Amino acid sequence: MKKRVFLLAFTLVFAILVIANGPAVPKLAEPVMITTAGQSAGAAMMKVLFTKSNIKDFVFEKLVTADEIEGYETLVIVAGASSKGLGAAGIDFDGETQRVTALIEAAKKQGMKVVVAQIEGAARRGTSSDQLFSLFVPMSDWVIIVRDADSDGFFTNLCEEHGIPLTIVEKSIEVSAQLNAVFE
């Protein structure tokens, strides 16, 4: 009887730990292509965070296309819709959505890992940004966000629903340390 209780208790503790920790964050490799979905300033911020990290083989291209990613191992997409940024890039929301969808599909076909990031916080949430996340998070291998972007549980629920590992940091500056931890 004691053996059964112990086994049941062990199984319960193990299940709680697995559920609490969620899916494992994948190991990522260089070279890395960083781009934006929505043309917000977050992608330029991510370039700075990569510069501060130990990852040195990366390129930042705002409008990279599916035929320009051959040879890369990881695709980092920093999402957040900006009407000003889209206008300056000469692309509309639908065109941006099509570009990034084709980009992710090509990356997956090539065996690349796809990371979706939201590092601008609550200021970069809204209907258009949430549409981007709803489309691209399910296609990703890892999602990293700042905590105040998830005050309503949007990212937590989306990642849980699709079995995508989610890392939440307090401030965007902490992303560099997370990158160092996942790149081989």
CATH of the domain at 34: 3.40.50
Q: In whole angstroms, what is the distance from residue 62 CA to residue 156 CA?
A: 27
Do the domain assignments include residue 113? yes
pLDDT of residue 137: 96
Q: Which residues of the chain have pLDDT under 50?
A: 4-20
Residue 4 lies in a domain: no
* Omega before residue 138 within 30° of 0, cis: no
Quick one: pLDDT at residue 86? Answer: 77
How many domains, in total, are found in the chain? 1
Q: SS3 breakdown of the chain: % helix, strand, coil, rounded to 5?
A: 55, 20, 30
pLDDT of residue 121: 86
- Determine the Cα angle at 121 with ends 117 and 127, to 5°: 85
pTM of the model: 0.85
Residue 165 falls inside a structural domain: yes
Domain-embedded: residue 7: no
Residue range(s) defining the domain that contains residue 126: 26-182
pLDDT at position 22: 72
Does a structural domain hold residue 112?
A: yes
Instruction: Decide: 46 and 38 in contact? Cβ < 8 Å.
Output: no
pLDDT of residue 85: 84
In a domain, 12, yes or no: no
Write down the pLDDT at residue 71.
96
What per-residue confidence (pLDDT) applies to 81? 84
Q: Specify if 13 maps to a domain.
A: no
Strand partners, 114: 75
| pLDDT for residue 72 | 98
What pLDDT, on a 0 to 100 scale, did the predictor assign at position 124? 79
Which pLDDT value is given to residue 17? Answer: 38
Residue 180: what pLDDT? 92
Longest CA–CA separation in the chain, Å: 70
Q: Is residue 59 part of a domain?
A: yes
Q: Rg of the chain's alpha carbons, rounded to an integer?
A: 18
Give the angle subtended at the CA of 148 by the CAs of 163 and 20, to the nearest 5°: 35
**What is the model's pLDDT at position 29?**
96
Whole-number pLDDT of residue 122: 87
Residue 14 is predicted with a pLDDT of 36
